Structure 1
Amino acid sequence: MAARPAYAARVTEQARTGTTTATTREWRIDEGWGVLDSPDTPGGCWAHFSAIDMPGFRALERGQVVRLDWESPGQDGFDYRAVRVVP
């Protein structure tokens, strides 16, 4: 009988999602990303320009209030990542 390969147990975090209202903390227009704050995304939510739902050049301004669809796990050191941002 052939030995079965030993598989390492994988612990995976189940993805969580949500929708909330958020405020733009910062936006790095030259890099195309920023951070959005809301009570539902403590520590901030990473957002890329490609997630912004608007025509033309997509960027946000500091203090701008948006509707945010987010998911976790996040990206680049943030626990949350924007899936869709509606200004």
Structure 2
Amino acid sequence: MTSVGVVAVWHGAEGWGVIESSDTTTGCWVHFGNIWTLNHPPLARGESIQVRGQGVNLQIGETVDFDWEAVQQDGYSFRAVDVRPRRDPPRRTVEFRVHGERVPWPTSSFGELPHPGLWTE
């Protein structure tokens, strides 16, 4: 489910925080690895993805769009699976490899890279 929320807690050194939203009334736990997430189908044997670039953090009080699931996580009833702050994303590089060889992002099976302007190949 997609919602709009506000970052209420952010522990940058630990890489996690809490988003408040009317849809996730007890707070939604979020990990830094779920900010501008690169979702993809399961990788086949010999495939790998490597992401490099700037780190990501949230700021207390900033508005975010986020997708979440209703599961228990560290005392919270909801967990964010993709968080999109309403600001420009950091630049990152994604490398897709098959048996160690770098190949173009497989749009035919994975679709376009999400969050335009975030990724370079």
Cα separation, 1, equivalents of 2:66 and 2:54? 19
Q: CA deviation at 1:56?
A: 1.8
Q: Which residue identity is paired with 1:73?
A: V
What SS does structure 2 have at the residue aligned with 1:50? helix
Q: CA deviation at 1:74?
A: 2.9
Q: Between the two proteins, what is the percent identity of the paired residues?
A: 43
Aligned positions of 1:38-57 closer than 5 A: 38-53=21-36, 56-57=54-55
Question: For structure 2, which runs of at least 5 residues remain unmatched after alignment?
Answer: 38-52, 86-121
CA radius of gyration, larger in: 1
Aligned to 2:66: 68
| Superposed structure 1 runs of 4+ greater than 4 Å apart | none
**TM-score w.r.t. length of structure 1:** 0.77
Q: CA deviation at 1:73?
A: 1.1
Aligned positions of 1:24-43 closer than 5 A: 24-43=7-26
Aligned to 1:77: 75
What SS does structure 2 have at the residue aligned with 1:30? coil
Compute the RMSD of aligned alpha carbons. Answer: 1.3
What SS does structure 2 have at the residue aligned with 1:40? coil
Question: For structure 1, which runs of at least 5 residues remain unmatched after alignment?
Answer: 1-17
